[in-house]
Amino acid sequence: MAIPKTSRIKPKSRSPIFLLTAAISAIALLYFLSSLISTTGSDALQTPISSNRNSLRRTDSEKFLYWGNRIDCPGKHCESCEGLGHQESSLRCALEEAIFLRRTFVMPSRMCINPIHNNKGILHHSDNVSSEERWAASSCAMDSLYDLDLISNTIPVILDNSKTWFQVMSTSMKLGSRGVALVEGVSRADLKETSQYSKILLINRTANHLSWFMECKDRNNRTAVLLPHSYLPSMAAKKLRDAAEKIMALLGDYDAIHVRRGDILKTRKDRFGVPRTLHPHLDRDTQPRFILCRIVKWVPPGRMLFIASNERTPNFFSPLSVRYKLAYSSNYSRILDPVVENNYQLFMIERLILGGAKTYIKTYKEIDTDRSLTDDPKKNTKIWQEPVYTKQGC
């Protein structure tokens, strides 16, 4: 039986410029790939590799977990990210899975920053900030926020721009079916209990692009939470911890309040033109008059009171000076200016200072034993109510 001839398609002619461009691109790609694997040879992860993370030794038994290259930043740009608190909740969710699966976590090398959290005016408590004084960057290096060596004492981590990560990707392609598993939608328990996943070098979850936190279905079950809320704040980069310690030494014996206002005092009018808000008492409870009334039972007169707030009105908290000695981050610009590049870093320093106070009063309660300025719930109730501006006895 005759074998039918394969029809040949006459190739289209290519211009010399196109061929030259393709040749240069191919050479550049080969050079890039060879530079990634040349230091370890063809068996990239078969021999131990030195790590910068506390000199840990990586072996062929090490497995990796990847969730994506952005934390809670849907879309093309960073304007849609929710803020550091939300992003940290999602990052804790991912780190907990790495602990549960006993895998090294591949951390994004950069953290998106919403422009509203990237204004130097908050540090200097001024609205008169020129465009030159505003940070234009929409993200910052992850290791400028967190001490990755310190995190690796609990959960081994690498960055997604590190040589180790490129070695992992290179090796995964050589391992075929044992290289990478795409597990979108697979539960954490199934990943651990199903034998087919245990031998896979790289688990690629590619977490929910709207919120990594959505992968943690059981957050209301306290026994399922492996890392406390305080974990990531305590993992601040060394230069941020050093700055906080210097300021705390100057403050001496002090108390502190965190007053969250600006971004959360949102109102909208109903169909009758009446303003409504999701936090009906918050605007009232964070006014100086009502703060004095609330904290008198916890903070004696004459005490040094450190105030961390996103309120931008100059001298807004000055009425508190009738009873307390006041201190703000802006009083320590000599320490902060050489260190702080964005408001994420500033907030991380302020959190350490707040946590070091003799008495720390939060805006909202996070646990029942917390002291707080308001009794409104922190979680969004999605019920729009009329704001309340009076309080009996104040």
**pLDDT at position 300, please?**
97
Q: For the chain, what are the domain ranges?
A: 64-116+132-234, 238-377
Token reading at 25:
């691109």
Quick check: do 64-116+132-234 and 238-377 share a fold?
Answer: yes
Give me the residues paired with residue 258 across strands: 308
Give me the residues paired with residue 105 across strands: 65, 157
**pLDDT at position 77, please?**
55
CA–CA separation, 171 and 180 (whole Å) = 10
- pLDDT one digit per residue (tens) for the chain, 394 residues: 443 333 333 434 445 444 444 443 444 444 334 443 333 333 333 333 334 454 344 555 789 999 988 887 655 556 666 688 888 988 998 999 999 999 999 999 998 887 766 654 444 444 554 433 443 457 889 999 999 999 999 999 999 999 999 999 999 999 988 899 888 888 888 888 888 888 899 999 876 666 777 777 665 555 556 788 889 999 999 999 999 999 999 999 999 999 998 877 888 888 888 888 888 899 999 999 999 999 999 999 999 999 999 898 999 999 999 999 999 999 999 999 999 988 899 999 999 999 999 999 999 988 889 999 999 888 767 888 888 888 887 7
> Distances from the Cα of 312 to the Cαs of 34, 38, 118, 123, 279, in angstroms?
52, 53, 14, 10, 19
Please report where in the chains the tokens 């090796």 appear, as a residue: 171
Task: For the domain covering 238-377, report its CATH number.
Answer: 3.40.50
pTM exceeding 0.85: no
CA–CA separation, 252 and 357 (whole Å) = 9
**pLDDT at position 89, please?**
87
Give me the residues paired with residue 181 across strands: 203
CA–CA separation, 36 and 254 (whole Å) = 51
Residue 69, Cα to own-chain centre: how many angstroms?
A: 12
Task: For the domain covering 64-116+132-234, report its CATH number.
Answer: 3.40.50
